Structure 1
Amino acid sequence: MPLYLREVSLRRETVSNWDVYPYNIPAIRHLEELRFRSHVVFFVGENGSGKSTLLEAIAYQCGFSTAGGGRSNMLRVDAAESALGEAVRLSWLPKVTEGFFLRAETFYHFASYLDELAREPFGGGRWVYEAYGGRSLHERSHGEAFLALFTHRFGRRGLYLLDEPEAALSPARQLAFLRVIHDLGPTAQWIIATHSPIILGYPGAQIFSFDESPPAEVRYEDTPHYQITRQFLQHRERVLAELFQPDEAL
């Protein structure tokens, strides 16, 4: 199976202060290298565990817009610069330049950026939307816009970095997204930061937990996402009864 990005490592010699962000995040502080053996890789962990920070640094090293987009997008958003980008090293075989970085939190700005391009008198026009289903992403629901991006913009040969794509996707659309991954085949490589137990269930995927320090590979069934969801669905009444118990008096 062809893989493009084989390894991500931290250039520890470039770090001068381990007590400042993002190097004070345990998973980043102790990161040596992550080696990929599947064309679908998931980063999981609690909020603040460093998974999105590393994903953004990979996008930076790929030359993708860290505000969201590919190498040709010039979108700029406040607080979208990578704090870790200069300190990571990517190992390729072979290197690809096609790909995309999706940041769910800045997707609205990306859709607006495309609309601005379409309105430009020179070099603009409706052709801007051809790679996104033929019309503005703002003319669709949030979930429909995400799926239009996945279906029309993503191609077989490329690296696709997605930060919490489930943010706009219903459970049914999360399953539709898994079908997109399947249909694009193994020549499309994916690295996805997610909290979704549905998306995490993609067969044969490699899962790295950023709750470990350094990040460690885990089985799907050992992720809290799977275990908590399974416990809730099988024993909803008991879980909620325990959750809503009054706090013990101090």
Structure 2
Amino acid sequence: MSGPGYIREIFLGRPLPEDSWLNRLPALAQLRAGERLAFDSPVTFLVGENGAGKSTLLEGIAVACGFNPEGGTRNFSFSTRDTHSALGDYLTVSRSAYPRDGFFLRAESFYNAASYIDRLDEEPGPSLLDSYGGVSLHAQSHGESFLALVQNRFGGEGLYLLDEPEAALSPARQLTLLGQMRLLAGEGSQFVVATHSPILMAYPGAAVYLLSEKGIERTEYRHTEHYIVTRRFLNDPERMLGMLFADGDADQREEP
């Protein structure tokens, strides 16, 4: 399945500085070696353990595509704290088309993006909130505001970069997001999502990239640790918890 081509592949257009902490991320080793990462599906997931670098890579892609590092559209220019990495300054994005719309969603800075939207809405002219469902995102729960953003602001022929969207959503609402992603992908949109959610990763035909100590490798959904551990737990939670708590009891007994 071929994606719309807003991001076809990424690569390092120039080497990272020798003293950059990014050189210590094993997941970026292939990019540092000159390899290219392909995005050939309308939906791509970046998965891996905490600290693997998936959010750092997604942020770098967003910056390389012209998005504000703290999230929002390419027109957002707010900044609360300069904590993003320099990766986006070195990444090159190869594309065959340009999106009509786009949004970079960061779970950790969504509050700041919502505040910026409210400030823009106070300026003279048509209400900006109409594009977000007509209600301030702050006047809704975290999950409600996120879905309002996706359902009202996102459109066809868009590039949408989502960093751990499951942080705001219940399992049922994650299914709602999947349905909305399917609808938008059918209208020519492309998604790149950093996630831990085995529900989201189940999107049909999605490309799944695992970031780990081995680098970046394409994998199958059912081969991810997220799927395997969740399935084992749901199939027999008592056994899994028994093993976990038994190990904890043993650790406590070994303490002097």
Alignment of 1:208-227 (within 5 A): 208-227=209-228
The alpha-carbon deviation at position 190 of structure 1 amounts to 0.3
- Please state whether the residue corresponding to 1:216 is helix, strand or coil: strand
Q: Match of 1:135?
A: 135
Q: Match of 2:237?
A: 236
The alpha-carbon deviation at position 212 of structure 1 amounts to 4.9
- Equivalents in 1 of 2:203, 2:217: separation in Å? 18
- Please state whether the residue corresponding to 1:86 is helix, strand or coil: helix
Question: Is the contact made by 2:101 and 2:156 (CA closer than 8 Å) also made in structure 1?
Answer: no
**Per residue, is there more helix in 1 or in 2?**
2
- Equivalents in 2 of 1:35, 1:80: separation in Å? 27
Q: Match of 1:69?
A: 72
The alpha-carbon deviation at position 79 of structure 1 amounts to 3.7
Question: Is the contact made by 1:66 and 1:82 (CA closer than 8 Å) also made in structure 2?
Answer: no
Q: Match of 2:88?
A: 85
- The one-letter code sitting in structure 2 at the alignment partner of 1:139 is A
Question: Which structure 2 residue ranges, 5 or more long, are not aligned?
Answer: none
- Equivalents in 2 of 1:37, 1:89: separation in Å? 16
RMSD: 1.6
- Equivalents in 1 of 2:132, 2:211: separation in Å? 32
- The one-letter code sitting in structure 1 at the alignment partner of 2:84 is E
Alignment of 1:1-250 (within 5 A): 1=2, 2-11=4-13, 13-17=14-18, 20-31=20-31, 32-96=35-99, 98-120=101-123, 122-123=124-125, 127-186=127-186, 187-245=188-246, 246-248=249-251, 249=254
Question: Is the contact made by 1:62 and 1:97 (CA closer than 8 Å) also made in structure 2?
Answer: no
- Equivalents in 2 of 1:10, 1:132: separation in Å? 35
Question: Is the contact made by 2:100 and 2:157 (CA closer than 8 Å) also made in structure 1?
Answer: no
Report Cα offsets for 1:68-118 as digits up to 9, x if no partner. Answer: 101111121214433211111100011336211000000011111111122
- The one-letter code sitting in structure 2 at the alignment partner of 1:134 is G
Question: Is the contact made by 1:103 and 1:163 (CA closer than 8 Å) also made in structure 2?
Answer: yes
Percent of aligned pairs with the same amino acid: 48
- Equivalents in 1 of 2:112, 2:20: separation in Å? 29
- Equivalents in 1 of 2:199, 2:165: separation in Å? 12
- The one-letter code sitting in structure 1 at the alignment partner of 2:29 is R
Residues paired across the two proteins, number: 245
- Please state whether the residue corresponding to 2:23 is helix, strand or coil: coil
Change (3 A) 1:16 1:174: same
Question: Which structure 1 residue ranges, 5 or more long, are not aligned?
Answer: none
Change (3 A) 1:72 1:98: same
TM-score by length of 2: 0.91
TM-score by length of 1: 0.93
- Equivalents in 2 of 1:80, 1:101: separation in Å? 16
Question: Is the contact made by 1:69 and 1:75 (CA closer than 8 Å) also made in structure 2?
Answer: no
Report Cα offsets for 1:93-147 as digits up to 9, x if no partner. Answer: 1133621100000001111111112223x34x6x110110011001111101000
The alpha-carbon deviation at position 213 of structure 1 amounts to 2.9
Report Cα offsets for 1:29-64 as digits up to 9, x if no partner. Answer: 332221111100000001111111111111111111
The alpha-carbon deviation at position 173 of structure 1 amounts to 0.2
